[in-house]
Structure 1
Amino acid sequence: MTNFVNVTLEDGIAIVTLMRSEAANALSIQMLHEINEELEKIQYDRSIRVVIVTGDGEKAFCAGADLKERKGMSEEQVRQTVALIGLTVNHFELLAQPVIAAINGVAFGGGLELALACDIRIASSNAKVGLTETALGIIPGAGGTQRLPRLIGVGKAKELIFTARRITADEALAYGIVEKVVPAKDLLEEAKALAAEMAKNAPLSLIQAKVAINQGIQTDITTGLQIESLAYSRLLYTEDRLEGLRAFQEKRSPLYRGK
């Protein structure tokens, strides 16, 4: 266990917990470095099939950048820190495995941007989210202006970013920012159940499906279909594909090994 990030492994699922509840799990420089170190390990660990990221405590998923720490920074240090936050958020998106954000409380600014970089978002009923940067004289700088419009549409994203509005979990569900809202006491178990439902499938298939979706959505349909075809072709000669066929013929559950 590191100082500000805790990673636990359960049946092929890595649970990454941000451990600064006393500071609303804000992204300090040390925490950012620790997150990247842990994600680097997860990226290449083929025993990990799905990743869950959540915050310690019940009040905050992640309040975004550590503004108290930023007060004492020079302009150059601020630029470096903003770049590091962007790099860290991108790291979640670039993980090979599916990533579920279990939003256990407030997720403002960079905290919501982190969640937007995940593949799926589940929120506790007490969660609140928002890209609040325009109220602070800045704009979302870790992908928020790009990922939110792609997720919920340009008009709705502009409304939320221009107003810096903080919305409830149910409102986030209505906007399409989160896929599900559950009672706070059930959040982690719901995330684990969803992760387990994914983890039983062929891990290489999960990886290539994520590649096809994430890369294909950025381009036109013709190019997207080519990306899908390439991703499919990478699975043709895998042991898992043959195991899937055998299991289907033998009417049993497949035993996938990620090979």
Structure 2
Amino acid sequence: MAAQHVFGAFSLDIRDDGVCIATFSRPPVNAVSLSVYEDIGRFADHVTEDDSIRVIVITAPDDSRAWCGGADLHEFKGMTASKRKERYQFINAQLPRFHRIDRPMIAAIRGATVGVGVMLAGMCDMRVASENARFTCPEVDYGLVGGSPGLFATLRMPEAKVREMVYTGRAFTARELESTGFFNYVVPSAAVLPIALDLAEQIARKSMPTLRARKLASLMWEGSGWMDAYLEAQEISSALVENPESKAAVLAALERGQGPGR
């Protein structure tokens, strides 16, 4: 490794060939707290300024229960509409920085990917997933509205499957979602990281100015429509958060123990 940097829950190992392995580690389930959103922003800022990074592979430790376990529900206890909006204001200062990273990003997913984790995976340029990795948008179970559908639409996922995911909140394996085109490869777990790294090595050999220009062109093509939809979903979700059913659902999930697939 040429260099290593740590930004809270994210450690960046930058190889001599320009491949950066970004490992997300926040035991037990890689839940996303406000501090993790801050780490995401710092990670994104560093990549923007580090010309030694040519391509990024985002993974989780081998023993992690999830690639990303979704929002940290502990932060939702006692949530009010005004607090929810403040939370969104903070999140909205971080996620766009991750989305605008001007280097190719590959999600190497071997574990459960929940809620905001699905969004983070969708913001990556490519996704390599374990056939048994579970993906879920469970916000409906907590009386809330998630922001993934707009991003799914941008990625041309079949609308019928998107609505099934967000209305039922149930978990789907990568193999079940393979036909949606969300993934580049769906493979046995042991093959996920090697395939992601092989892709990264191919990309790292390309011209840096061209890679950056290609990524920016892709972002321009994608447009801001999905983000506008996400912001509208935030307004709707903020109004729901004080609903007694929402509060009860969050507390029940915490009593069960927040786990991947929920």
TM-score, normalised by the number of residues in structure 2: 0.76
Cα distance change, pair 83–122 in 1 and its aligned pair in 2 (3 A):
farther
CA positional deviation for 1:47: 1.3
* Counterpart amino acid of residue 162 in structure 1: Y
Q: Secondary structure at the match of 1:198?
A: helix
Could you say which residue in structure 1 is the equivalent of 2:138?
Answer: 132
Could you say which residue in structure 2 is the equivalent of 1:180?
Answer: 185
- What are the equivalent positions in structure 2 for 1:1-259 lying under 5 Å apart? 1-10=6-15, 11-22=17-28, 24-56=29-61, 57-141=63-147, 144-151=148-155, 152-218=157-223
User: Relative contact order: is structure 1 or structure 2 higher (C-alpha 8 Å, sep ≥ 6)?
Assistant: 2
2:57 and 2:85 map into 1 onto residues whose CA distance is: 29
1:83 and 1:54 map into 2 onto residues whose CA distance is: 27
* Counterpart amino acid of residue 34 in structure 2: I
Could you say which residue in structure 1 is the equivalent of 2:248?
Answer: none
Q: Secondary structure at the match of 1:27?
A: coil
Which of structure 1's runs of 4+ aligned residues deviate more than 3 A? Answer: 72-77, 82-89
- Tell whether the 8 Å contact from 1:13 to 1:199 is kept in structure 2 after alignment: yes
CA positional deviation for 1:186: 2.5
Unaligned runs of at least 5 residues, structure 1: 220-259
Cα distance change, pair 83–117 in 1 and its aligned pair in 2 (3 A):
farther
Provide the identity percentage. 31
* Counterpart amino acid of residue 5 in structure 1: F
Aligned residues: 216
CA positional deviation for 1:140: 1.1
2:119 and 2:51 map into 1 onto residues whose CA distance is: 26
1:79 and 1:5 map into 2 onto residues whose CA distance is: 26
Could you say which residue in structure 2 is the equivalent of 1:228?
Answer: none
Cα distance change, pair 16–86 in 1 and its aligned pair in 2 (3 A):
farther
Cα distance change, pair 83–106 in 1 and its aligned pair in 2 (3 A):
farther
Cα distance change, pair 89–129 in 1 and its aligned pair in 2 (3 A):
farther
CA positional deviation for 1:97: 0.2
Q: Secondary structure at the match of 2:94?
A: helix
CA displacement 1:105-161 (0-9 Å, x = unmatched) = 0101111111111111111223101222112111113xx121112211433322322
* Counterpart amino acid of residue 207 in structure 1: R
Q: Secondary structure at the match of 1:21?
A: coil
CA positional deviation for 1:74: 4.7
- Tell whether the 8 Å contact from 1:107 to 1:129 is kept in structure 2 after alignment: yes
Moved more, 181-190 or 129-138: 181-190
Q: Secondary structure at the match of 1:107?
A: strand
The RMSD of aligned alpha carbons is 2.0
Q: Secondary structure at the match of 1:17?
A: strand
1:86 and 1:159 map into 2 onto residues whose CA distance is: 27
- Tell whether the 8 Å contact from 1:26 to 1:64 is kept in structure 2 after alignment: yes
2:94 and 2:181 map into 1 onto residues whose CA distance is: 24
CA positional deviation for 1:82: 3.2
Higher Rg of the two aligned structures: 1
- Tell whether the 8 Å contact from 1:105 to 1:128 is kept in structure 2 after alignment: yes
CA positional deviation for 1:193: 0.9
CA displacement 1:67-125 (0-9 Å, x = unmatched) = 02321555433323234344433322200001111112010111111111111111122
- Tell whether the 8 Å contact from 2:40 to 2:95 is kept in structure 1 after alignment: no
CA displacement 1:203-229 (0-9 Å, x = unmatched) = 11111122222212449xxxxxxxxxx
CA positional deviation for 1:63: 1.1
- Tell whether the 8 Å contact from 2:31 to 2:72 is kept in structure 1 after alignment: yes
